[in-house]
Amino acid sequence: MSSQHFTTNSETETVELGKQLGTSLKPGSVVLLFGDLGAGKTTFVRGLATGLGIEPSEVSSPTFVLIQEYRGRVTLHHVDLYRIEGAAVDDLGVEELANERAVVVIEWAERLPRPIPDAIHVKLEDKGENVREIAIEGS
Ligand code: ADP
Ligand code: MG
């Protein structure tokens, strides 16, 4: 599987990287985001959304919503598994959200009970200050 490594030095650079990936996504794509709190997952999603023709200000990480839906050139389902209990992930049916008109991006993909075939993996790591290391695999 192809793997690309990036270092970003600002929030803006992470948005730009997310945008590049978003621009390349086809309907049916699943993007899994891995990384701790503050690593930049939601920031990356804002860029991803932009690349799909969605207004980035629509993207947020509200406390109680597990899945948000934004409309662009395709629909983007934005899933955040941070607050979900183990077994409840199964009931969400996240695999079924990706289809011929929609893309799925999942924050805290560590919490998925099983791998999703053909998903793109994005691993974000906080290197201190404004530096983030971001690895993208499978795009
Ligand atoms: P997560 O969703 O992983 O918890 P967020 O994207 O919500 O993370 O928050 C990342 C935080 O880190 C924001 O406050 C952002 O301004 C800050 N930040 C600093 N440098 C970067 C960078 N290079 N990339 C992304 N976010 C950064
Ligand atoms: Mg987040």
Q: Concatenated DSSP letters for 49-68? A: HHHTT--GGG----SS-SEE
pLDDT greater than 80 at residue 92: yes
Tens-place pLDDT, residues 99-131: 889 999 999 999 998 889 999 999 999 999 999
| Cross-strand pairs, 77 | 69, 104
d(CA 36, CA 34): 7
Of ligand 1's atoms, which has the minimum distance to the CA of residue 36?
A: 3
Tens-place pLDDT, residues 19-45: 999 999 999 999 999 999 999 999 999
Task: Name the residue with the closest Cα to ligand 1, atom 20.
Answer: 130
Cβ-contact 32, 110 below 8 angstroms: no
Task: Name the residue with the closest Cα to ligand 1, atom 6.
Answer: 40
| Ligand 1 neighbour 80 (Cβ under 6 A) | no
Q: Residue 133 is inside which H or E element, if any?
A: strand 132-137
Q: Where are the beta strands (DSSP E) in 27-119?
A: 30-34, 67-71, 75-80, 102-107
Q: Which pLDDT score, from 0 to 100, does residue 93 have?
A: 85
